[in-house]
Amino acid sequence: MCGIIGYVGGRDVPSVLLGGLWRLEYRGYDSSGIAVISNSELVVRKVPGKLSELEELIKRKHVSGTIGIGHTRWATHGLPQENNTHPLVDCNEEIALVVNGIIENYLALKDELEAKGHIFRSLTDSEVIVHLIEENRSRGLAEAVKLAVKKLTGNFAFAVISINDRNKLVCARHDAPLICCYNSKEAAVASDISGVISIFDEVIYIPNDSIVVLQKGKCIITNFQGRTIKAPVHQVTIDVQDIDKGRFPHFMLKEIYEQPKVLHSIVSERIAGDGIRLGSELGISDAELKKVSRIVIQACGTSWHAGLIGKYIIEKFARIHTEVDISSEFRYRDAVFDSDTLVMAISQSGETADTIAGLREAKVKFLKALSLVNVLQSSIHRESDGIIEIMAGPEIGVASTKAYTAEIVNLHFLALYLGLLRGFVSRADLAEHLAALEELPGQVEQVIKLDSEIREIAKIFCNSRDFLFLGRGLNYATALEGALKLKEISYINATGYAAGEMKHGPIAMIDNKMPIVCVNPRTSVYEKMLNNIQEAVARKGIPISIVTRGDRRTRGISAYSVSIPECHECVSPVLSVIPLQLLAYHIATLKGLDVDRPRNLAKSVTVE
Ligand code: F6R
């Protein structure tokens, strides 16, 4: 979950590395550092804390050179303190290394290396790599890396430089993302395109289990056995502006506000005349889809919440038994499948370690895997039989917002597509749903206009210690997602619950200080939810309700309410979640918290 970058070329190396690290910072931000080869000497600058502190340090103690590597860390092994901060160096301070991943056998390797006299300075698992490379340094950097990777188990992507091979950036990847770029004047490597976006317009997604030697005008890729591999060059399609905050104070707010635009492009892309187009990379024929008897969705966090909505709508429209599993449970569950089971991973990043492992579990069992993925060419994209592109555009804010609503809308299209194929959705049903989906972006825009109203509610509750979020049916997932958004960026204890379950335990928590966010748009479970709100009111809880415009009954029993437009039940989770995203955002900013860098988190969870 760390961000890595390396550069060789004529630009100011520390500036290139820092620029890249700023854009990779979402991957981890508890410490950072760079190493540059300057006049045949390896110079390392690193600091625990924010990237701005590294920037300050580099301003104070400038270093110049033509090759360097950089790192922004999300700590797994060892506290975020200077000795554990990357770049890590070998005993003689001639080789520097930056790593993203986990080395599972590091303790055994460390014992071996210490017995040979290597001195370890950090508590990280990664440091073994630089000492393994040091062991074979006389054979040249590329060969030493090749010998080192053979000894590693776990997942990793790393870049290394050495004063004895000072024009080369050598990198390796196994089950962790890495890209590289090069032209006649310069070359770079990074965890993802955002690290190098301002410099290159072509990119190579480094194939798994390969080693890359990068120089100006040269890029040699070999597999771990040493055989040369050809990897396609892709055009960089994202723009610097896509990963810039623009006029917004935070990425999270920018991404909340982008939702009408994102949903509009998805709806325009997916509606083809009076039918549905799921994209050119579906990878599974209609005949195969017709045969599917069971769908297992597996995902983590917010994407898992989208999966819960997927289950409701796939079962409703396509009458296919659908299960939703948390990937970290699914991968170890030894689930029962039959040959007509379709496994679906849902992932914004496409790099979530548990979700990738779940996908591989399915492949080992020869099941078809169709994934919903936002980042193209990510591991989940490459390893699935087919994908539906989420089309949310780059999501930088650590708290997922636009990817969530985009996932729901894509699942809606998939459910309708399957329903049509299997004869459970008529042309008239389809027309009704497509009309609801076409109307959705405009309705989302109307909800976003309630921003200042929601901020006023946030002011009242920003010092609350606990929150309860309740919902039913499709909006049970909305309650879970609202609670997750609040706790991850405001650190307030927030519990999401199916409202009907409340009386089986959580009702005991309710007192006259407890804000209870009640998601009750007009749906088939409206009356049931209304009863649950009454039960909360009878225990003196403070309901803050999400209601359909004109709903006087829910408003009447709520202390505060936010009205969303009248809509089809199936799109209600999209409209209901927007006020909850904004509520979480405002509560966190009113508390003075950094919503784009919540403590202990990182955007892309590439470790188990
Ligand atoms: C919460 C959040 C996480 C992610 C989860 C899965 O706001 O962002 O819960 O949803 O880590 O990530 P992806 O979708 O990238 O697999």
Catalytic residue among 2, 171, 219, 518: 2
Last residue of a domain, one of 243, 268, 297: 243
Mark whether 314 and 196 lie in a shared domain.
Answer: no
User: Is there a contact between 278 and 418 (Cβ–Cβ < 8 Å)?
Assistant: no
Of the pLDDT bands very low, low, confident and very high (cuts 50, 70, 90), residue 109 is very high
Mark whether 459 and 585 lie in a shared domain.
Answer: yes
Mark whether 261 and 293 lie in a shared domain.
Answer: yes
Task: Inform me whether the pLDDT recorded for 487 exceeds 90.
Answer: yes
Nearest one of 375, 387, 422 to 604, comparing CA atoms: 375
- Please report the pLDDT score of residue 425 as a whole number: 96
User: Distance between CA 165 and CA 299 in Å, rounded?
Assistant: 43
Average pLDDT over residues 413-434: 96
Average pLDDT over residues 30-38: 95
User: Distance between CA 54 and CA 31 in Å, rounded?
Assistant: 8
Give pLDDT tens digits for 340-359: 999 999 999 999 999 999 99
Question: Measuring from atom 7 of ligand 1, which residue has the nearest CA?
Answer: 399
Last residue of a domain, one of 415, 443, 471: 443
The pocket around ligand 1, CB under 6 angstroms, is made up of 300-303, 347-349, 352, 355, 399-400, 484, 488, 605
- Please report the pLDDT score of residue 378 as a whole number: 87
Mark whether 238 and 268 lie in a shared domain.
Answer: no
Mark whether 163 and 311 lie in a shared domain.
Answer: no
Mark whether 219 and 282 lie in a shared domain.
Answer: no
Q: Is 138 left (phi over 0), alpha (psi -120 to 50) or beta?
A: alpha
User: Distance between CA 36 and CA 56 in Å, rounded?
Assistant: 16
397-408 in b/e form (b: 16+ CB < 10 A) is bbbbbbbbbbbb
User: Distance between CA 259 and CA 578 in Å, rounded?
Assistant: 9
- Please report the pLDDT score of residue 27 as a whole number: 85
- Please report the pLDDT score of residue 420 as a whole number: 96
User: Distance between CA 476 and CA 166 in Å, rounded?
Assistant: 57
User: Distance between CA 176 and CA 231 in Å, rounded?
Assistant: 17
Residue corresponding to tokens 């409701």: 312
- Please report the pLDDT score of residue 501 as a whole number: 95
Is 353 part of a structural domain of the chain?
yes
User: Distance between CA 265 and CA 500 in Å, rounded?
Assistant: 36
Ligand 1 pocket mutation, candidates 256, 324, 348, 407, criterion most atoms within 8 A of CB: 348
Nearest one of 544, 563, 561, 402 to 485, comparing CA atoms: 402
Of the pLDDT bands very low, low, confident and very high (cuts 50, 70, 90), residue 491 is very high
- Please report the pLDDT score of residue 94 as a whole number: 97
User: Is there a contact between 278 and 270 (Cβ–Cβ < 8 Å)?
Assistant: yes
Mark whether 471 and 426 lie in a shared domain.
Answer: no
**Residue 91 burial (CB < 10 Å; 0-12/13-18/19+)?**
middle
CATH number at residue 205: 3.60.20.10
User: Is there a contact between 256 and 290 (Cβ–Cβ < 8 Å)?
Assistant: no
CATH number at residue 526: 3.40.50.10490
Is 607 part of a structural domain of the chain?
no
pTM: 0.90
Average pLDDT over residues 361-365: 91
Is 266 part of a structural domain of the chain?
yes
Is 570 tagged catalytic? no
Last residue of a domain, one of 443, 472, 502: 443
- Cα of 300 from ligand 1 centre, angstroms: 6
Using DSSP, state whether 571 is helix, strand or coil.
helix
Is 35 part of a structural domain of the chain?
yes
User: Distance between CA 537 and CA 518 in Å, rounded?
Assistant: 11
- Cα of 598 from ligand 1 centre, angstroms: 13
Dihedral, CA of residue 185, residue 190, residue 192 and residue 193, to nearest 10: -20
Is 603 tagged catalytic? yes
Of the pLDDT bands very low, low, confident and very high (cuts 50, 70, 90), residue 310 is very high
Q: Which atom of ligand 1 is nearest to the CA of 299?
A: 16
What is the share, in percent, of the chain residues with pLDDT greater than 70? 100
Question: Measuring from atom 3 of ligand 1, which residue has the nearest CA?
Answer: 301
Task: Inform me whether the pLDDT recorded for 52 exceeds 90.
Answer: yes
Mark whether 543 and 517 lie in a shared domain.
Answer: yes
Is 606 part of a structural domain of the chain?
no
Of the pLDDT bands very low, low, confident and very high (cuts 50, 70, 90), residue 47 is very high
Of the pLDDT bands very low, low, confident and very high (cuts 50, 70, 90), residue 244 is confident
Task: Inform me whether the pLDDT recorded for 290 exceeds 90.
Answer: yes
Total of domains in the chain: 3
User: Distance between CA 208 and CA 174 in Å, rounded?
Assistant: 5
- Cα of 94 from ligand 1 centre, angstroms: 38
Is 39 part of a structural domain of the chain?
yes
Mark whether 397 and 436 lie in a shared domain.
Answer: yes
Question: Measuring from atom 6 of ligand 1, which residue has the nearest CA?
Answer: 300
Task: Inform me whether the pLDDT recorded for 214 exceeds 80.
Answer: yes
- Cα of 586 from ligand 1 centre, angstroms: 20
Average pLDDT over residues 599-605: 80
Look at strands 202-205 and 179-182 and give their pairing.
antiparallel
- Cα of 348 from ligand 1 centre, angstroms: 7
Q: Which residue range is the domain that position 430 belongs to?
A: 251-443
DSSP bridge pairs for 346: 299, 372
Of the pLDDT bands very low, low, confident and very high (cuts 50, 70, 90), residue 42 is very high
Mark whether 29 and 153 lie in a shared domain.
Answer: yes
User: Is there a contact between 146 and 163 (Cβ–Cβ < 8 Å)?
Assistant: no
Is 598 part of a structural domain of the chain?
no
Of the pLDDT bands very low, low, confident and very high (cuts 50, 70, 90), residue 130 is very high
Task: Inform me whether the pLDDT recorded for 1 exceeds 80.
Answer: no
- Please report the pLDDT score of residue 241 as a whole number: 78
Is 603 part of a structural domain of the chain?
no
Mark whether 498 and 394 lie in a shared domain.
Answer: no
Task: Inform me whether the pLDDT recorded for 85 exceeds 80.
Answer: yes
Report residue 204 as tokens. 């190579």
Report residue 348 as tokens. 């914004």
- Cα of 591 from ligand 1 centre, angstroms: 23
Of the pLDDT bands very low, low, confident and very high (cuts 50, 70, 90), residue 379 is confident
User: Distance between CA 321 and CA 186 in Å, rounded?
Assistant: 53
Q: How many other CB atoms sit within 10 Å of the CB of residue 421?
A: 16
Ligand 1 pocket mutation, candidates 27, 352, 388, 400, criterion most atoms within 8 A of CB: 400
Question: Measuring from atom 10 of ligand 1, which residue has the nearest CA?
Answer: 302
Give pLDDT tens digits for 151-181: 999 989 999 999 999 999 999 999 888 999 9
Mark whether 176 and 47 lie in a shared domain.
Answer: yes
Catalytic residue among 168, 368, 485, 603: 603
- Please report the pLDDT score of residue 428 as a whole number: 95
Give pLDDT tens digits for 257-268: 999 999 999 999
Q: What is the DSSP letter of 228?
A: B
Q: Which atom of ligand 1 is nearest to the CA of 404?
A: 10
Using DSSP, state whether 439 is helix, strand or coil.
helix
